[in-house]
Amino acid sequence: MSARILVVDDEPQILRALRVILRDAGYQTVLAETGAEALDAAAVRPPQAAIVDIMLPDIDGVEVTRRLRQWSEMPIIVLSAVSEEEQKVLALQSGADDYVTKPFGSRELVARLHAALRRTHESAQEPSIEIDGLRIDLAARTVMRDGERVHLTPIEFELLRVLVRNRGRLLTHRMLMTEVWGPQYVDDTQALRTHIARLRAKIESRAGAPRHIITEPGIGYRLAA
């Protein structure tokens, strides 16, 4: 069965266009024109991913994303006519996995959605490691810190997966961006920094310098060996 995608936008013509684009790409859609409708629809029948517009008539898309992220790890792509970096960072900090600025190309949007879903559903056998109270099981897609479950977004988990599979090796910004987002996004280092900061906040200890994800200034990151 094809993946079901929640699409939230207050412009009827955009909703119709997205329904056609996603249908032609093999996806089912659940449409909502307000944040409240979207949250209700997601709660009744959780979708496999969501595409959320920033500007909504009741609850803005950033808040919708934040509320969805409280209970779901599904990929969330935010749409907006606003291209300012601050708005983009705010959306990513709220839990979005990707950000697409209107007007957008249908092929690009579908490619980003497909990549996000592929990351979520990867089932290949992966290693399990333990570092100073942090246990990462890539096959089960679980992370535990001091015995407590850590909830990561799909992008955060994918970043951690790449770092784990290259443990001890320095990965440049470009290498990480290529592995996680694809070669067409290698210059979006602000998105990378934002997701790394969120990942650190979840897996590192509350005090002191980062022990697990080490920054090499101006170059990239590595997972402590």
Question: What pLDDT, on the 0 to 100 scale, is given for residue 36?
Answer: 96
Residues 206 and 159 in one domain: yes
Residues 25 and 109 in one domain: yes
Residue 224 near residue 212, CB atoms below 8 Å? yes
Residues 102 and 140 in one domain: no
Residues 132 and 116 in one domain: no
Residues 116 and 215 in one domain: no
Residues 14 and 117 in one domain: yes
Last residue of a domain, one of 121, 147, 181: 121
Domain count, the chain: 2
Confidence of residue 137 (pLDDT cuts 50, 70, 90): confident
Last residue of a domain, one of 60, 91, 121: 121
Greater confidence (8 vs 85) lies with: 8
| pLDDT tens digit sequence for 155-197 | 899 899 899 888 888 888 988 988 888 777 777 788 899 999 9
Question: What pLDDT, on the 0 to 100 scale, is given for residue 34?
Answer: 96
Residue 8 near residue 38, CB atoms below 8 Å? yes
Residues 138 and 116 in one domain: no
User: By 3-state DSSP, what share of the chain in percent is helix, strand and coil, each rounded to 5?
Assistant: 40, 20, 35
Last residue of a domain, one of 71, 100, 121: 121
Whether 199 shows a pLDDT value over 50: the answer reads yes
Residues 152 and 206 in one domain: yes
Residue 3, helix vs strand vs coil: coil
The per-residue pLDDT of the chain, averaged, comes to 86
The separation between the first and the last C-alpha atoms of the chain, rounded to the nearest angstrom, is 41
Q: CB within 8 A of 44, min separation 6: which ones?
A: none
CATH number at residue 108: 3.40.50.2300
Among the listed residues 33, 29, 32, the one whose alpha carbon sits nearest the alpha carbon of residue 10? 33
Residues 132 and 207 in one domain: yes
Confidence of residue 10 (pLDDT cuts 50, 70, 90): very high
Among the listed residues 70, 90, 81, 74, the one whose alpha carbon sits nearest the alpha carbon of residue 9? 81
- What percentage of the chain carries pLDDT values higher than 90? 40
| pLDDT tens digit sequence for 76-120 | 999 987 666 677 778 887 888 888 888 888 998 998 898 788 776
**Structural domain of residue 155, as residue ranges?**
128-223
| pLDDT tens digit sequence for 47-65 | 999 999 998 999 999 999 9
Residues 103 and 156 in one domain: no
CATH number at residue 175: 1.10.10.10
pTM: 0.65
Residues 116 and 142 in one domain: no
Residue 50, helix vs strand vs coil: strand
Residues 72 and 132 in one domain: no
